[in-house]
Amino acid sequence: MRSLLNFLLRYKNLIIFFILEAVALVMISSSHDYHQSVTFGAARSVTGFVAKRVENGHSYFNLRHVNDELVSENLMLRRRIEDLEAVPQTGFTAKKDTLSGITYNYLSARVINNSVNKQKNFITLDKGTRHGVTTGMGVASSAGVVGVVVGVSRNYSVAMSLLNTDFKLSASIARNDYFGSLAWDGRNHRYAQLSEIPHHVAVTEGDTIVTSGYSAIYPAGLMVGTLTGDQKRGGDFVTLKVLLSADFKKLTNVYLIGNLTRNERETLEKEVTNE
């Protein structure tokens, strides 16, 4: 007994240290429990009060930024009013693409979930079947192509982002109409690769890359990005590095693009190729 006491006294600091660290670890590992949230409910109302005061001060310093955002949103809303007044109907507005005769529908949506740091990124939008969204619709922001809808529920839809290694897009160089396949290599969220461009095509830095319109998802001539000048040669083709015009890190408002004649076109194309 004496020796035990002596032991405890000699190592009391070490013992206290281990007990306290053990208590801390238990607290960390149980911090998601419901009971814990009840125990600290009282403390939380105090911290909530303080946090709210701090947030009030914080939001004051953010006012300039918030203002900028509101101004640009206002501008966008004004533009949309113009659009709506031109066509007296709500929801979908129809635009006639006179070049190819395909009619595309546009519907605005808000990005409510988004990522850029994975290999297969998806974007969640706040419009679903209730608003007329179907899978296969294109998604674009005012800056450029964003993705394609792959799943729809009643109120939401999920789009495969252009920043998804499974995403392929038929894109062409606006200046000379040579087309290739655009895909993301999974590295930098600002750049994508345009492959299958023949050797002899003369390209310069800054050339505009647009959608080719071959896929029936996007109308032809929709902005995708600009060439950076970097290129990789291999085989008969060149792969060009494209700076995407849409900044995926700050996507908020996007447009859904529906092709009214898509079924007709695809049925025809299938018929012909099957014969």
Q: Does 204 bind another protein (CB under 8 A)?
A: no
How far is the CA of 225 from the CAs of 45, 61, 136, 219, 274, in angstroms? 49, 34, 22, 15, 35
For residue 153 the two structure tokens come to: 């529920």
Q: Does 23 bind another protein (CB under 8 A)?
A: yes
Residue whose CB is less far from another protein, 36 or 155: 36
Please report how close the Cβ of residue 122 comes to another protein at its closest, in angstroms: 23
Please report how close the Cβ of residue 52 comes to another protein at its closest, in angstroms: 13
> Which of the 8 DSSP states describes residue 225?
E
- Which of 6, 7, 17, 153 contacts another protein by CB under 8 A? 17
Interface characters, 46-75, with another protein (x: CB under 8 A): -x--xx--x---x-----------------
- Which of 7, 8, 36, 130 contacts another protein by CB under 8 A? 36
How far is the CA of 229 from the CAs of 69, 189, 226, 243, 245, in angstroms? 33, 17, 9, 10, 15
Q: Does 110 bind another protein (CB under 8 A)?
A: no
Q: Does 8 bind another protein (CB under 8 A)?
A: no
- Smallest Cα–Cα separation from 131: which of 154, 105, 160? 154
Beta strand residue intervals within the chain, DSSP E: 93-96, 103-113, 120-125, 138-140, 145-152, 157-164, 169-173, 179-183, 191-198, 208-211, 223-234, 237-244, 253-259
For residue 136 the two structure tokens come to: 């296969």
- Which of 6, 8, 10, 27 contacts another protein by CB under 8 A? 27
Total number of residues that touch another protein (CB under 8 A): 23
Please report how close the Cβ of residue 24 comes to another protein at its closest, in angstroms: 4
Residues 197, 207: contact at Cβ < 8 Å?
no
- Which of 7, 10, 16, 81 contacts another protein by CB under 8 A? 16
Residue whose CB is less far from another protein, 26 or 268: 26
Q: Does 25 bind another protein (CB under 8 A)?
A: yes
Please report how close the Cβ of residue 14 comes to another protein at its closest, in angstroms: 9
Selected range binding another protein among 44-52, 164-172, 185-193, 195-203, rule: CB under 8 A: 44-52
For residue 199 the two structure tokens come to: 């050797």
What b-and-e string marks burial along 108-140, b requiring 16 or more CB atoms within 10 Å of the CB?
Answer: bbebeebeeeeeebbbbbebbeebebeebbbbb
Find where tokens 């930024």 sit.
65
- Residue numbers 144-173 binding another protein by CB under 8 A: none
- Which of 1, 5, 28, 63 contacts another protein by CB under 8 A? 28
Query: Which 3 state secondary structure label does DSSP give 21?
Result: helix
Contact positions vs another protein (CB under 8 A): 12-13, 16-17, 20-21, 23-28, 30-31, 36, 40, 43-44, 47, 50-51, 54, 58
